[in-house]
Amino acid sequence: MTTTVEKTFNIFDILIGTKGEEDFGKKPVIIQGMTGSYGSTHTRLMKAYGTNIPAGVTPGKGGQIFEDIPIYNTMSEAVGATGAQISGIFVPAPFFLKAAVEAIDSGIKLLVAIPEHIPIRDAIKVLEYARRKDARMIGPNTPGVIVPEVMKVGIMPAQPFKAGTTVVFSRSGTLMYDVSYNLTSKGYGQRLCLGIGGDPINGTNLIEAFDLVRDRDDVESIVVVGEIGGDAEEQLAQYIISTNFTKPVIAYIAGRAAPKEKRMGHAGAIVYGNYGSAESKVTNYAKANVPVAKRPAEVPELLAKKLRM
């Protein structure tokens, strides 16, 4: 059984703070790898969306300015100057381990690990280090996290998302956009959309993600976008049953028609025997009374039905 998270971690406090705070909705976010092509494109887009980005880090480029944002050589300088607790990591995979450890050492409490192709051992090392230092990682290989109409740390486009009371957790990036777009177009806005990541190791797994919202009054329902590979959905179903999770949950699972023992684009999307298969996930969700949509467009229909019940 997966260990559940310390209840003290409040992602909404970290991401947007509490009403009345001077910097409510404007919590500082540092972008590591800001001057790279990916980092720079998305720094502009995040800023345009409303994210407060007072500093960037690129070793060797300290002193430069990008889009009015000062660049620092090290995380400790950037954190020292801004007091940020959030870092968006946009460095290439081979530099991820070093960048993440540096961020944690500088006092960062929430790492949003965007890059794909992170070696498994590096992800485990960062995860273990983060636990020791009371920090949390989202990802790697995640589109990031968005509080619609407030801020985002990640690479998701703005259009699919709208403020509301549904939460979307997704193991896939584009499907998070597609499903959120479907929800939005049927009137179900989102309070939070968070990419779990497409890798075998997730800094924040589905159960921990559920813990983040289970006691929140501003969250009415949850949509989980899963895919083949691993047993995250099976564990989640068990969690929903054993902890008596009462908020309505709708699921979608991609990869029903995928062949076995083939990696389907994501490092984590691979079925061995029955382990990781869509059938196993659907069966377990059924036990937890979680309806599974056949296609992204069916998600809002199932949600509407569930909310009427």
Partner 1 sequence: MRLLEYQGKELFDEFGIRVPRSHLAHTVQEAREGGNKLGYPLVIKSQLTVGGRGKAGAILKCKNEVELEPKFNELLHKEVKGELPRGILLEEMADIKRELYVSLFLNRSKRCYSLISSAEGGIDIESAGSKVMVDVPIDGLTSQQAEETANKLGLDGETVISFVDFTTKLSKIVNEKEAELAEINPVAILQDGSFMALDAKVIIDDNAMFRHPELKKYEHISELEKQAEVSGFSLVELDGNIAIIGNGAGLVMSTLDMVSDAGGRAGAFLDFGGRATTETIYDALKVISKIKKVEAILVNLFGGIVRTNLVAQAILDAYNNNLMNVPVFARISGADSEKAREMLQGSKAKLYNTVEEAIQSAVSTLKNSRGSA
Among 64, 74, 235, 283, binds partner 1 (CB under 8 A): 235
Residue 291 Cβ vs partner 1, minimum distance, rounded to whole Å: 16
Beta-carbon count within 10 A of 237 CB? 26
Q: Does 268 sit near partner 1 (CB under 8 A)?
A: yes
Report the residue from 201, 222, 271, 303 that binds partner 1 according to the rule CB under 8 A.
Answer: 201
- In the set 98, 121, 133, 305, which binds partner 1 (CB under 8 A)? 121
Phi then psi for 154, rounded to 5 degrees? 155, -165
Near partner 1 by CB under 8 A, which window of 12-20, 58-66, 124-132, 186-194?
124-132
Q: What is the C-alpha to C-alpha distance for residues 116 and 75, in angstroms, rounded to an integer? A: 21
Structure tokens at 69: 């944002």
Active site residue 266: yes
Asked if 15 interacts with partner 1 (CB under 8 A), we say: no
Phi, psi of 53 (to 5 degrees): -115, 95
DSSP state at residue 262:
-
Q: Which of 50, 59, 70, 119 binds partner 1 (CB under 8 A)?
A: 119
| Cα 277-280-285 angle, rounded to 5 deg | 125
Under the criterion CB under 8 A, does residue 258 sit at the interface with partner 1? yes
Q: Rg of the Cα trace of the chain? A: 19
**Residue tagged active-site, from 109, 136, 266, 281:** 266
Rounded to whole angstroms, the Cα distance separating 212 from 233 reads 17
Contact mark string toward partner 1, 31..70, x via CB under 8 A: ----------------------------------------
One of 294, 304, 305, 307 touching partner 1 (CB under 8 A) = 294
For 109, list phi and psi in degrees, rounded to 5: -105, -20
204 is a contact residue toward partner 1 (CB under 8 A)? no
Per-residue contact flags (x/-) with partner 1 for residues 143 to 162, judged by CB under 8 A: ------------x-xxxx--
290 — phi, psi (to 5°)?
-105, 115
How far apart CA 25 and CA 148 sit, in angstroms, is 11
Q: Could you tell me which of 223, 230, 234 has the C-alpha nearest to residue 266?
A: 230
Distance CA 177, CA 223 (A): 12
Closest approach, Cβ 84 to partner 1, in A, equals: 25
The residues of the shown chain that bind partner 1, judged by CB under 8 A, are: 2, 93-94, 116-121, 124-125, 127-128, 155, 157-160, 170-178, 181, 198, 200-202, 205, 225, 227-228, 230-232, 235, 252, 254-259, 261-269, 272-273, 294-297
- Active-site positions read 266
